[in-house]
Structure 1
Amino acid sequence: MTDTGKREVSYVFPNGDTYEGECFRNSEGVLMRAGMGTQTSASGLTYSGEWTNDMMNGSGTLRHPSGAVYEGHFRDNMYDGTGTYHFPDGSKCMGTFKNNRLEGKGEFIDSQGIVWTGNFEDKKVQTLFLKDNM
């Protein structure tokens, strides 16, 4: 009989990555990340949030060593759902993400605080309008 209950762990991977948070042992006996946890790569990339099936799934925050930050929803280790991507220069884009890209209606706020709205599709902006901030 295999114990599949959730537990809290602190683990260092052979490549130097670390994980602290919840996990469970699957029916094959493999320990998998599930629930809330934080993983930090040896290069400084940090994800804090929800895990399912050993992948980033649900709400979380991914911080890049460059200073870029994504806050929002993930599916199968990708930005997927409502989120905000903050660039190191202070600009940001927000809206619905799919497969790590902003897709559909979204907003871009440049480093001077000017707000642009538009439709994003396949790495391109289909239409972009300066939002009336008055």
Structure 2
Amino acid sequence: MEVTGSTYFGDYVHGRIEGKGRYTLPTETKYNGTMKDGMFHGKGTLYFPNRSKYEGIWDCGISKEGKYTFADGLEFKDKKWHYCDGYDRRFYTEICSGLKPAGISQLTNLDPPRTIPQGCYDCGDGFYNPNTRVVIDYKLRFLRNAGMCFIHLEVLCNI
């Protein structure tokens, strides 16, 4: 645990992580559920820092079936997905709460939208700063150095 930066609170069998527990990864993603031989096994839920979650059935660390729910409550469906398609482009919050009055735009599914630091870009798990080429998380903590994909994006988009 010390090597990976993870933490675990729960059951052990013969000194191994096994049974019910809470496993927290260094990214602040949390798993609540059952473990076997140090791996997710049985029923469990992954809670992501952006408040989305994945509830699933695991077999030796591999998800066999499950359901992903976005932070706003929208459940992902791999078949017949009709959200934000060519026929209905409303955000899920607009579907649930109605459209805003004319002249008040909703630019993201978050209402109110996330505040993006000046000169940065939202990249899904944090903000990318093209000057420093660093991605910081939504709590403004270092997440990672940007790789070549961001540099190519800058060239393509003339950022």
Q: How far does the alpha carbon of each residue in 1:48-82 deviate from its partner, in whole angstroms, 9 at most, with x for none?
A: 1011121101001101112220012112223212x
SS at match of 1:93: coil
Higher relative contact order (CA 8 A, sep 6+): 1
Instruction: Please point out which of 48, 52, 60 is paired with 1:76.
Output: 60
Indicate the residue corresponding to 1:48 in structure 2. 32
SS at match of 1:15: coil
| CA RMSD, Structure 1 to Structure 2 (Å) | 2.4
Letter in 2 for 1:54: G
Q: Which has the higher strand share?
A: 1
Indicate the residue corresponding to 1:9 in structure 2. none
Asked if 2 retains the 8 angstrom alpha-carbon contact of 1:93 and 1:109, the reply is no
Q: Does 1:32 align with 2:32?
A: no
Q: How far does the alpha carbon of each residue in 1:78-116 deviate from its partner, in whole angstroms, 9 at most, with x for none?
A: 3212x221123432125xxxxxxx6xxx56574236xxx
Instruction: Please point out which of 75, 86, 95 is paired with 2:69.
Output: 86
Letter in 2 for 1:17: S
Letter in 2 for 1:86: T
Q: Which has the higher helix share?
A: 2
Sequence identity percentage: 27
Letter in 2 for 1:80: K
Unaligned 5+ runs, structure 2: 84-91, 97-159
Unaligned 5+ runs, structure 1: 1-11, 26-30, 95-101, 114-134
- How has the CA–CA distance of structure 1 residues 54 and 15 changed in structure 2, closer, same or farther, with 3 Å as cutoff? closer
What TM-score results when the alignment is normalised by the length of structure 1? 0.54
SS at match of 1:92: coil
Larger Rg: 2
Indicate the residue corresponding to 2:5 in structure 1. 16
SS at match of 2:76: strand
Q: How many residues align?
A: 86
